[in-house]
Structure formats: structure tokens, C-alpha cells
Structure 1
């Protein structure tokens, strides 16, 4: 399918769905460059137009290779989570999806926020109490939850309220329970400062950068430091092509105006396991071989069977697990189910022939990314007898 407003680009497939539309994979028919494009249905939501305007304004204001930067230009992301953290072909970290981002500081004037938005396991407790809150402390909290998931392989709670037993245990300092018992003393010490219930007592980003664990070096093939993704030029530079933040400030709401808090949650998350993989490689296809053009994810495998037999084995497995199976063609299947929090989970399965073998590629269509990976692991375990246990290596040049 061709994109009518983008010349020479073809839609290959839908990569995922969100609250306002879907993300599609586009390939340039001349250069074979691949990009991910967010397509928004502006007729389905009353507030969609204003949100799109806000997201466009935020993107125009940003000009930086990494992060540690957003708060410096007065922008809060408000939906920091693993699904919105990407890695490029050089493993450089990027933050994506600014659909919930807003301006909290303009010309030295800072406003408190009241809109409750984000993803429940990652939101700060002050958002749940429906009181006005400071943007920076809420983003710092979300980073602490992401760090917990990276170190322990699971999220600590469904939401930070006293009705949640896991969160109550945290408030009572029961760090001998999961996931805290999986984390060593030094990073756990940092997490206790980041995940402080009182935002006024919560550690700030400048102080996080001074913490002993943050500044140490880890060695794993190449030298890696916890601060490497944040340790970049903090000087705020805004070129003449970037918009005056006043327009976005007005869209976001005046400091002097108050109203009923809005609630806008993105997709929920609560996994048993967390698998990390980098995202779409936005590099020219002409310079890549068939292996390099594979997205480096952990949700695919090769099988010992042909395409028809592979499809049959997967179908029987999915049906036995209670999934809904809908096959639209020989190479594509839609699988749907409900996750543990009773939210819809839909993923696509593609059967690709590569070098006389069948690659089974799973891609999330709708639902939580970490829940999707948990289900993928279960499916893979049940199909272990037909899976080729071969590690795919990707050239770095």
C-alpha cells in the first residue's frame, strides 16, 4: 500500500497500535530505507487535534542526541517506560512517544501539573492522589521504576497506592521481598531515594548523578557506565528554526488556570519477565544485508520445519493456550488474548523464509509490550522441540 501524502514510500505492515492511531513500517522503494511512522486518526477523539499540535510543538523544540535535556528546556515526558526507550544501530539510547509530553516551565515560570496520565505501574504516587504535582519529580520516579525493571527483571507493583500490597510493603521498607531482594545494596540504596513516596524528599536528577553507584564503571566487552546515557552536554541550545515555547505553553494551559484533573493512561504493564531488544534500524537498506535488516529483537525464532508445518504447530499451541487465532494469509497471523490485568493483548506473527529456513517473527499490535514478551516466552517454551537454538549475530558496521 502506498502512502498518498509521502512520495516513494510504501507501507509494509502495522507495527503497533496506540490510543490515537497506529505505527506503521514504511520502506522507501528507491533507497529501501526503513522508518516507523505514527498515523493518527484525528476524527475518533475530541482532544486528538490539540494533543497532536502539542506533540508537534514538543518535537520542534527538541534538538539533542540523547537525554538529560528535556527538563532543561522545560518539557516533561510523562510516560517514561521501556516501550518508549529505543536503541539505534549504535546502541545509543533515544526517548520516543511525546504524545503525553507538555511544557511545565517557560521563561522561568514553572507551573504545577494536575492531569493524571502515563502508565499505571510507572506513575508517581502523587498523581494517584489527584493533587497538583511537580513535573520533574514525577519523571524521576518513572525512571526509578524503569531501573527496577532493568535490574530485577520485573516491575515492583501495579500502581503506587496503599490498596496495592506490593507498594505497601515498599512503604514499610520490606526490601527482603521480590523484586528488591534481587538487587544489590548499592543500587537499592539509590532506588530508595528515587522511589520516595514524598516528592519533596525524592532525590533530584543532579543528585542522582552524584550517587556512588551511578558514577561507577561496569565492564562487559566495552566499558559501560550507568551515567553514559545521561552524561551529555547539558547546555540548552535552541536554534531559530525551533518554535517559541509560548504557543505550547498556552496549549498546555496557563499557570493561573485550574480545572478538573484529566485522566489519560497509556497501555498498562505488569510482567513476570522482561526481555530487552533494540528497535527498528533506520538505516539505508541498500547498505544492509538480509541479516542486518532484521530488527534486533528477542521475539523471533527459526524452526526446523517448513512454513506450513510451522504454522500448524504454532496454531495448535496457541489454541491450546486459549488464544484466538486468525490467519489472513499464508505468511501472517493475528493472535489475541487477555493479559493478567484483563486488558486486550493482540500480536502479529509473520512466517518469513530466510536462507531456506523459516523465521517466525512475533510483533505486538495492541497491549502492553512487557506482557507481550511474557506470553512469547511461554509460546516459545511449548515449541522448544521445533526451534533452532541458534544465536543471530548482527554486524556493527
Structure 2
């Protein structure tokens, strides 16, 4: 008799078959056991990431996707970590790649191509407004959901505006050659926004033509064509489509059309479909860091959760210089975050914080030794959201980090003073204190 195969589980997700594989990661279909929702889980080998020095790139991809929440961008649900792997839980786009549409059915009519181009520009406009540049826009990275709506994916090459050099430009040449803007190839620095728009123009051309505007077996000849914007339009392109594409595929980034100008373009505005956003988001990047720090393989084995452990180097990293004293006193400068230590058990600390926060009007969501506290009453800058996490410093000593995720900083300071007053029997003080 054949023995039934035991399905593997990661957290609350039951893993299914593989739907993709790369050099450092596999993507598997999975099912949320609580909601029955299908998701895609990207499983990354920590060993390979460390060996090839890709930690910062993976962190950047995760952080970027947590920052960008838009109906035309693949949603990142959560990040988990084990001793050997990183699990990135993503929205599953059941419609596959937009590229396959072109391969299977050929070029699109203008109305259909315009619809996808609308959604692409809306997504890129939102990314740029958050200081994020994709830098690898191509048909392979455009997916479709069950309703046929476009979903932008793969932020592995993306960068935040904080990463630009002193000259205000990006300097890393990346992306797929046929879609890359001329200024990216000349190695003199480039602005991420017009470079992304060039790639959007190439995508629109392919949707309408069924083939690439710049293509050559010889890479040097390909670069020459891109640098000179050497391409020709098929006979079936309308005058409006040609006019817009000429302004997008302009080899001079300084005179290239901008997103605001595209939104006013006559061809683009036909059948205009404004994007509907699902709200104003702020992101909490704690998961990004903790996924790389978790030391026990609890997500795969089902062992009882433990607080994340902090080693000496991580403690020093949290302090100013080599002085750890500021970590073990509550009389520190209180801005967006603060910490205190306790000799109580981790479970007792979580329970005491919950007991102290509820009477103050906070909704509480717990996940292991992390808590999200949300004030049900809106303040000066909306609802105050506060996150807490318990770390183990030693077997009988824990450190608690309290961070403002959203809302007014002054309200956070007031909240923390009230909270700490309620936790007098939890906060550890030395004999001198």
C-alpha cells in the first residue's frame, strides 16, 4: 500500500507544488489554513544568500514590497524566517505573466493595451511617490490576477530614493538590456524616474506591436540602437500611440515625458480608469530584520515559540558607541522608539503590557512575542499605532522594544510615560537606580 504523502506546513500555510525556481529561491503555491486563500511563498536559502552576499538585496526587496501597497502591485502578506530559510508570503496572481498573453495571442488592440498601460503607469506613479524606483520593468515582471488586472512584481533590483549618491543620481546599471534606458548604459549616473518610464514605453510598444522595439543578437549593436532610439513603428500604430511613444522613448532623460504629462496625454486619457487605492499605509519593517535573525527552526518544526535572542554584537548595535548603559535605563531620549529591560518572563511581560494598554483604549494584536497596539480613537495625525517586541538578552533578562509605527510622536511619548508608570513592577532597575 502506498503511504499518503504528508503535506509540509510553514506557519499557518500548507505548501503545495512548485510554481517557479531560480538560483537562490523556489516559489511554491500554498494555502492559508485560516482563510483558505491561495498564496505564493518564495523560499530563499539563507546559506546561498550569505554565500553570494545578497542579504541587503533580499532585505531591500522585502522592505520595498512592504512599503508599496497598491491594487496593481503584488501584495506582500508577511515574512517568516527559520534557521535555514526565509519565507516571503506573497499574493498569488492566478493569471500568470502578461508576456504569455503576447506569446499565445500576439499583439493587442489599442484599447486592451491602453488598459494595461493605465494600470502600469498608476502603479509606477505610486512607487515613485514613495521614493521607490523599480529598475527592472519588463513584461516578465507583469502578472495578472483572476480578473485580468495587472500586478507589478519582482522588486529585486529596486532602490529607494535614500540610496542615491551626493549628485542625486543612481549609479548601478541593472535591468534587462532590451528594456533599459540609454542613460543607464552610459555609466554616468541616472535618475530612476525617467529610466523607469523608458521601460514602460518599451512595454507599451511590445503590447501594441507584439515584438521589441530594440533587438539585436549583437549586444554592442543593441546598445547603439537604444542610445540613438533607433526603432520603427509598424503600419497599424495610430497617430496618438506613435506620438506618445516618441515622447517616452526619447533618449534624452531631461526632455523625456514625465508621468504627470502622460496622465494628460490625449491617447492615454481615452477610456481613463483611475486607480482606486485601499487606504493610506505606513509600514513596519520589524519582520524584515527578524526574519534574518531567527535562530530556531520553529516555523517548520512547530516547536514552541521563543523570544528572538540578541547577541553581544546586536546589543552594541542598538547602543551609542560601545556604551550599553542607555539600553538598561528608562531615562533615555524618547522619540520614535525606546527600550526597557525586565527580569520577568517573556509571557508575563506580554501579559502586563496587554493589561496596561487595554484600559487606555488600544486594540491589541499579538503574534508570539510581538504586539501591535492601535488606539481606537484618532489623534492629531490619525490613530496612534505602537509595536512592541520582547528580546531575550540572557536566560533571566529580557529587553523590550517599544516603537511608534504611525501617528503623532508627542502622543507616543505621552502613551509611553503612562505605560511605563503601569509597568513599575516589570521594568528592571539596578540597585543604584
TM-score, normalisation: structure 1:
0.50
Query: Which structure has the highest helix share of the two?
Result: 2
2:46 maps to which of 32, 42, 46: 42
Residue number in structure 1 paired with 2:151: 94
Residue number in structure 1 paired with 2:16: 11
- Match status 1:51 vs 2:57: yes
Residue number in structure 2 paired with 1:209: 263
Residue number in structure 2 paired with 1:195: 249
Cα offset for 1:5? 3.0
2:183 maps to which of 101, 126, 147: 126
Paired residue secondary structure (2:256): coil
Equivalences for residues 215-364 of structure 1 within 5 A: 215-217=269-271, 225=272, 228=273, 231-232=274-275, 237-239=280-282, 241-243=283-285
- Match status 1:164 vs 2:183: no
Aligned residues: 228
Paired residue secondary structure (1:69): helix
Residue number in structure 1 paired with 2:343: none
Give the direction of change, closer, same or farther, for the CA distance of 1:43–1:93 in structure 2 (3 Å limit): same
Cα offset for 1:162? 9.1
Paired residue secondary structure (2:129): helix
Do the aligned residues in 2 keep the contact of 1:122 with 1:141 (CA within 8 Å)? yes
Q: Unaligned 5+ residue runs, structure 1? A: 218-224, 248-397
Q: Write the distance in 1 (CA, Å) between the matches of 2:170 and 2:279.
A: 23
When the two chains are superposed, the root-mean-square deviation of aligned CA atoms in Å is 3.5
- Match status 1:72 vs 2:76: no
- In the TM superposition, what whole-angstrom CA distance separates every residue of 1:20-78 from its partner, at most 9, and x where no partner exists? 32222223567653221112223224232111111121122122223230000100111
- In the TM superposition, what whole-angstrom CA distance separates every residue of 1:78-121 from its partner, at most 9, and x where no partner exists? 111122112222333221111111102599x9931111111111
Q: Write the distance in 2 (CA, Å) between the matches of 1:214 and 1:112.
A: 29
Residue number in structure 1 paired with 2:311: none
Q: Write the distance in 2 (CA, Å) between the matches of 1:140 and 1:165.
A: 19
Q: Write the distance in 2 (CA, Å) between the matches of 1:38 and 1:146.
A: 26
Do the aligned residues in 1 keep the contact of 2:71 with 2:278 (CA within 8 Å)? no
Do the aligned residues in 2 keep the contact of 1:104 with 1:112 (CA within 8 Å)? no
- In the TM superposition, what whole-angstrom CA distance separates every residue of 1:196-221 from its partner, at most 9, and x where no partner exists? 1111111111111111100113xxxx
Q: Write the distance in 1 (CA, Å) between the matches of 2:45 and 2:256.
A: 38
Cα offset for 1:19? 4.6
Cα offset for 1:129? 1.1
Q: Write the distance in 2 (CA, Å) between the matches of 1:139 and 1:160.
A: 24
- In the TM superposition, what whole-angstrom CA distance separates every residue of 1:178-206 from its partner, at most 9, and x where no partner exists? x5434222101111110111111111111
2:237 maps to which of 178, 183, 187: 183
Give the direction of change, closer, same or farther, for the CA distance of 1:63–1:159 in structure 2 (3 Å limit): farther
Q: Unaligned 5+ residue runs, structure 2? A: 1-5, 73-122, 290-433
